[in-house]
Amino acid sequence: MSRAVDVSLLVLGKGTVGRHLFAQIAAARARLETDHDVLVRVVGARDSAGGVFDRDGIDPASAAAILARRRRAASFASRPADRRDEPGLLESLDRLGALPVPVLVDCTGEDGMEATYEAALDRGIHVVAANKRPLAGPLSTWRNLRATARRARRSYRYETAVGAGLPVIETLKNLVRTGDRVRRIEGSLSGTLGYVAGALMEGERLSAIVRRARDLGYTEPHPGEDLRGADVSRKALILARELGEAASIEDVRVTPLVPSRLLDERDPARFDAALATYDGEMAGVVDSARRDGRVLRYLATVDAPGDGRRASLSAGPALVPLDHPAAHLAGAESFVAFYTDRYADQPLVVRGAGAGGAVTAAGVLADVLAVAGGAGAGAPRA
């Protein structure tokens, strides 16, 4: 019997994705060890209020509750520390780096995580991230992260940054690695906006749909981030960069689903009220689409003509015909179509659930297991 690969995780974030990840590890770890020779051990967890660390392992089923208790107790400075207490992130990374197959897992959506990733990679720690912001930041930052991972011979995996649990990034990487020429990428890259567009086509009111999507955990903390297309534009940029394009977020032509003036309100109740003022106009757009035999979708496109010409990137609402690959998406489904030299007549399509904490967490766990597989083979992939 082969010896199990021992994987040590420090998880950042206990939001929707983090909670689902803890639950999935708790449910799967015995099977992973028995059937797949991988022992997944959560040794640390952190949120904005601090964290816990125990090299012997923290029960993943209790990790989120432990962090919540720490948050409630944060004002009691005299509270004695136990052996799981730890003062800061860098110290946690130092401890993590000394453990078998160390992996930093970022389940946050925070800005400015690049320095944390670099600190981890420099300590010999693999990085798995659902956070798309470092990938869509300045081009120099993106390039530096990739160079740091290669130099450290450590993995930086981010499959869920674009397709939640869908294998979008890996599919694109394989096309590029095997020498195919990707000419165009088109997709409904936001399960949230797919859900909103689908419900609109069924006759529901915009404001009610968005409120429900937020309650279901489909949207960003502020739904305006989804509706203005910011999330989709970042994903389009990430895909373009995977093609080797020296693109920046300013290169993406973005059209929001609804007027920008409705999206800046931070108070949830006032945001809902502002959105409701557009219900009638949006219903008119939907009615017009139906009369023309079309379907409302929110699409991203990356046109990469080659021949030295720069790629063209866009994100915005589109009225597509019924034979379009996006026309029959259901619920929070996403799809991506790759038009390449090899897939010229019929595109290579990836389709499935594109939003929700459970599918995103499953994609994160799959990335962790891919890291473990590389470590078990003795050759971690950068």
Instruction: Please tell me the distance from the alpha carbon of residue 336 to that of residue 348, in angstroms, as a whole number.
Output: 8
Instruction: Please tell me the distance from the alpha carbon of residue 288 to that of residue 298, in angstroms, as a whole number.
Output: 16
Instruction: Please tell me the distance from the alpha carbon of residue 322 to that of residue 66, in angstroms, as a whole number.
Output: 50
Token pair in block for residue 170? 């890996």
Residue 25: how many CB atoms within 10 A of its CB? Answer: 23
β-pairing verdict for 294-303 and 312-321: antiparallel
CB distance 73 to 80 below 8 Å: no
Contact partners, residue 142, CB within 8 Å, separation at least 6: 134, 135, 136, 241
Helix/strand/coil (H/E/C) assignment for every residue in the chain:
CCCCEEEEEEEECCCHHHHHHHHHHHHHHHHHHHHHCEEEEEEEEEECCEEEECCCCCCHHHHHHHHHHHHHCCCCCCCCCCCCECCCHHHHHHHHHCCCCEEEEECCCCCCCHHHHHHHHHCCCEEEECCCHHHHCCHHHHHHHHHHHHHHCCCEECCHHHHCCCCHHHHHHHHHHCCCCEEEEEEECCHHHHHHHHHHHCCCCHHHHHHHHHHCCCCCCCCHHHHCCHHHHHHHHHHHHHCCCCCCHHHEEECCCCCHHHCCCCCHHHHHHHHHCCHHHHHHHHHHHHHCCEEEEEEEEEECCECCECCEEEEEEEEEECCCCCCCCCCCEEEEEEEECCCCCCCEEEEEECCCHHHHHHHHHHHHHHHHHHHHCCCCCC
Catalytic sites, residue numbers: 235
